[in-house]
Amino acid sequence: MDKMELSTNDSVFVTKSSEYIFKWSDLKALLKIGIINSNTLTAFAGFWLALYYTGTSLKTNWHLLLVCVIGTAFVIAGGCVLNNYYDRDIDRVMARTKNRPTVTGTVSLQHVLILGTAFSLIGLLTLSLASFQAALYGFIGWFSYVILYTMWSKRKYTINTAIGSLSGAVPPLIGWACVEPNLHPVAWILFLLVFIWQTPHFLAIAMKKVDDYRSANIPMLPVVHGFAITKRQMILYVTCLLPIPFFLHGIGYMFVILAALLTIGWFLLSVKGFFVKDDKKWANQMFVYSLIYLTVMFLSLILFTLPNNLL
C-alpha cells in the first residue's frame, strides 16, 4: 500500500512506492484557482438574487448555499483539470502554460485524468442535493467547456471564444436553481451579462498573448484576422452590455446608475482602442477593466440586496 507523507515546509505530497511528488502549487495550477473563484462568485450571486426575488432568507437556506458553492467549485475544478489534461500538447509550446504540471510531468497524467473525473462527478452529485435543475445546469456548463470548447472548437474555429463563454455564463443559473428550480427572468439576464462579458475579456487575453496562440496554432481571432477586426468585435460585445443594467432595475436605482457608469466606462475604453499606438498595452487595460467590471457588478448585486436576504 502506498504511504503518503506531507512535508509542511514545502507542501509536498510524496508517494514512496512510486517516487511521485505532488506539490500544492501543481494542484493550484491544475485547478485554475482564479477561474474557480470568479465562477463561484457568479454562482453565489445567482443564489443570492434568487433569495431576494423569492422573498426567502439566508437563515433558512444556508445549507443550500453550502451545496451551491461546494458543488459549483468541484464541477469547475473538474472541468479545468480535464482541460489541462487534453491541452497538454499545445500547452507545451505556449510560454504562459509550458510550466503546467501536465507539461512538466510533475503530475502523472493518469492521476490528472482521475482527479478531473472525480471532481466533476462529486460536483454534479453535490448540486443534485439542491435540485435536479442545479445539477443539470452544472452538467451543461461542464459539457460546454470540456467537450464543446476544449475538445471541439478551440483548435478549429475563431468562434471558440463565444462557445467557451457558454460554460462561464452558467454558474448564475446553477446558483439560482439551488434556491428556485424554475428560473426567474433575472437569472437569464445574469446569464447574458456573463456570456457577453466573456468575449471582450478573452479577446483581450488573445491580443496580449497572440504570439503564444500563433505558436500553438490556435485560431484565436487576433491570430487569424488581426487586431483591427478583433477590436471591432470587442466593442460590439461591450455595446451589447449597455442595456443590461436597466433590466436589473429591481435591485434599485443606485445599482442601475453604478452598473450603467461601469458599462459606459468600458465602452469608452473600447473606443479608445481605435486610436492607440500600443495595441497590447490597450489590450491589457481592457483585460484589467473587464476583471474590475465583473467583480464590481456582482459584488454590487450582492451588497444592494444584503439587508433583505439577512432578515
Q: Name the residue with cell 452529485.
A: 125
Q: 158-188: b or e for each residue (b if 16 or more CB lie within 10 Å)? A: bebbbbbbbbbbbbbbbbbbbbbeebbebbb
H or E element, residue 170: none
Backbone angles phi, psi at 17, to 5 degrees: -65, -30
Which stretches of the chain are assigned E, i.e. beta strand?
4-7, 12-15, 20-23
Task: Give pLDDT, residue 27.
Answer: 83
Task: Give pLDDT, residue 294.
Answer: 97
Residue 82 to residues 31, 100, 102, 122, 145, Cα–Cα distance (Å):
9, 13, 10, 14, 10
CB distance 269 to 289 below 8 Å: yes
Grid coordinates belonging to 131:
435540485
Q: Name the residue with cell 435540485.
A: 131
What is residue 181's DSSP assignment?
A: S
Q: Name the residue with cell 439577512.
A: 310
- How far is C-alpha 137 from the chain's CA centre? 14
Q: 256-272: b or e for each residue (b if 16 or more CB lie within 10 Å)? A: bebbeebbeebeebbee
Q: CA–CA separation, 46 vs 92, rounded Å?
A: 37
Grid coordinates belonging to 229:
477586426
229-251 pLDDT per residue, tens? 999 999 999 999 999 999 999 99
3-class secondary-structure state, position 168:
helix
Q: CA–CA separation, 68 vs 174, rounded Å?
A: 7
Backbone angles phi, psi at 22, to 5 degrees: -125, 110
- pLDDT < 70: residue spans in the chain: 1-22, 311
Question: Could you tell me which of 199, 201, 141 has the C-alpha nearest to residue 168?
Answer: 141
The end-to-end CA distance of the chain, in Å, is 52
Give the start-to-end residue ranges of the domains of the chain: 4-310
Task: Give pLDDT, residue 141.
Answer: 97
Q: CA–CA separation, 61 vs 179, rounded Å?
A: 8
Q: Which long-range contacts (CB under 8 A, 24 or more apart) does 269-275 make?
A: 270/200, 270/231, 270/234, 270/235, 270/238, 270/239, 271/235, 273/231, 273/234, 273/235, 274/231
Task: Give pLDDT, residue 311.
Answer: 64
CB distance 112 to 84 below 8 Å: yes
pTM of the model: 0.91
Topology of domain 4-310, CATH: Farnesyl Diphosphate Synthase (1.10.600)
Task: Give pLDDT, residue 191.
Answer: 98
Question: Could you tell me which of 167, 9, 14 has the C-alpha nearest to residue 83?
Answer: 167
Task: Give pLDDT, residue 51.
Answer: 96
